[in-house]
């Protein structure tokens, strides 16, 4: 694999070689339904008069733009984060080589979370149309990706920041509201999207065998996960009741075996705080999908062995041998750790089902021709 490189932009200017040399470490945390945040740790030193040299606060104003890009070895730089500088943390010591300043950067959704306000209700408006309007109010958002919604409630009221309101709309409509770095600095992408249906164009993550690139994999099952979500709403016009019930299995599983058999899947009522629309379909669907992700994977990529750049909101194939845990996962969190000599990726991901494994596959994994008929439901990690 070719050498991996990174570069940093401060405002419109690329970091100089001297500035890059003073960066000891960059850690970018990307998480679903949360701020993306980068921490750039830079070395400081004292001159002969006891003054701090290279203090970043001298040139980096609050909410000035910082962008971090990475080339994983394919010759193309991709942005890990692009957004405002929100704080500078100092770790000072009189002994040489022990003082640092850490620049804390968040994605451009930080601009959407500044002012809490109320505004006149949106009447008979689709959530996707509202999201398009709200993203358009910010110059930092250069483009949008919006999945259309169908419901047009009589009124939708905003109270709080724009980001809080967008996330409330997203939760009620089986969507996620977030901001991605754009291809150009200062032109981020506002997203109002459902979970992806297809896997991303990423190489598989392989735990064992040829092409191994994954280490320390842990798969945990949520004992309270999986449910049939039921919702009932009293209609105002005719005093009738609208009922809707669904589950992750009804919505389409990522694998061929459900996490729980149908007769063992518990039924849960939609929380009244979420059940506020005349048509409960979208809210119940969103709740069933969220609760359907029963299995959580945590692992890390072996440095230098993987040719893909992982990010949340993508699906990736995980090969864990002849176990029910092999299959597609939805990435929920990635921590990119960059130093001048090493780049690593740690990930968290989730799935709503298991893969069926045959006796032949188990026998092959054991290295023999023995044919077995098995029903595997346990973990090996």
Which fold is adopted by the domain 111-193?
Phage tail protein beta-alpha-beta fold (3.55.50)
Q: Within 13 Å of residue 227, how many CA atoms lie on the same side as its CB?
A: 20
Cα 29 to Cα 353: distance, rounded to the nearest angstrom: 27
Q: Where are the domains of the chain?
A: 5-106, 111-193, 206-216+300-366, 228-292
| Chain segment 323-356, per-residue pLDDT in tens | 999 999 999 999 999 998 899 999 999 999 999 9
Q: In this structure, are residues 294 and 182 in contact, taking their beta carbons and an 8 Å threshold?
A: no
pLDDT of 27 > 50? The answer is: yes
Q: What dihedral do alpha carbons 121, 122, 124, 128 form, nearest 10°?
A: -150
Q: What is the pTM of this model?
A: 0.89
Torsion angle in degrees (nearest 10) through CA of 247, 201, 322, 296: -50
Asked if 325 and 259 touch (Cβ cutoff 8 Å), the reply is no
Closest CA to 329 of 366, 304, 354: 354
pLDDT band for position 2 (50/70/90)? Answer: low
User: What number is the average pLDDT over the span 97-119?
Assistant: 94
At 357, is the secondary structure helix, strand, or coil?
Answer: coil
pLDDT digits (tens, 9 = 90+) for 183-240: 999 899 999 999 998 888 999 999 998 899 999 999 999 998 899 999 988 777 777 7
DSSP result, 323-342: STT-EEEEEEEEEEEE-SS-
């Amino acid at each position: 694999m070719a050498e991996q490189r990174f570069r940093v932009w401060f405002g419109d200017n690329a970091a100089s070689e001297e500035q890059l040399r003073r960066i000891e470490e960059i850690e970018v945390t990307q998480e679903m339904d949360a701020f993306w945040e980068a921490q750039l740790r830079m070395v400081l030193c004292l001159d002969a008069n006891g003054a701090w040299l290279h203090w970043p606060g001298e040139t980096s104003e609050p909410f000035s733009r910082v962008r971090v890009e990475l080339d994983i070895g394919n010759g193309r730089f991709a942005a890990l984060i692009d957004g405002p500088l929100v704080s500078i943390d100092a770790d000072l010591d009189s002994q040489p080589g022990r003082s640092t300043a850490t620049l804390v950067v968040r994605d451009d959704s930080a601009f959407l979370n500044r002012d809490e306000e109320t505004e006149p209700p949106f009447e008979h408006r689709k959530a996707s149309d509202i999201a398009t309007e709200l993203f358009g109010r910010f110059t930092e958002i250069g483009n949008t990706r919006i999945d259309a919604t169908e419901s047009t409630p009589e009124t939708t009221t905003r109270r709080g920041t724009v980001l809080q309101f967008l996330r409330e709309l997203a939760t009620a409509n089986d969507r996620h509201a977030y901001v991605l770095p754009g291809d150009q600095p200062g032109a981020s992408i506002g997203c109002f999207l459902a979970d992806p249906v297809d896997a991303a164009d990423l190489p598989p993550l392989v735990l064992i065998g040829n092409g191994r690139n994954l280490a320390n994999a842990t798969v945990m099952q949520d004992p309270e996960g999986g449910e049939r979500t039921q919702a009932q709403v009293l209609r105002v016009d005719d005093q009738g009741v609208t009922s809707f019930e669904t589950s992750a299995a009804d919505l389409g599983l990522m694998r061929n075996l459900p996490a729980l058999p149908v007769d063992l899947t518990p039924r849960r009522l939609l929380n009244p705080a979420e059940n506020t629309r005349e048509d409960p379909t979208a809210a119940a669907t969103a709740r069933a999908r969220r609760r359907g992700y029963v299995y959580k994977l945590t692992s890390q990529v072996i440095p230098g062995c993987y040719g893909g750049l992982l990010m949340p909101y993508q699906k990736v194939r995980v090969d864990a041998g002849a176990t029910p845990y092999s299959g597609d996962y939805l990435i929920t969190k990635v921590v990119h750790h960059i130093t001048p000599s090493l780049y690593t990726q740690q990930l968290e991901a989730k799935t709503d089902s298991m893969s069926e494994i045959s006796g032949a596959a188990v026998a092959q994994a054991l290295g023999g021709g023995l044919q077995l008929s098995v029903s595997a439901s346990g973990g090996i990690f």
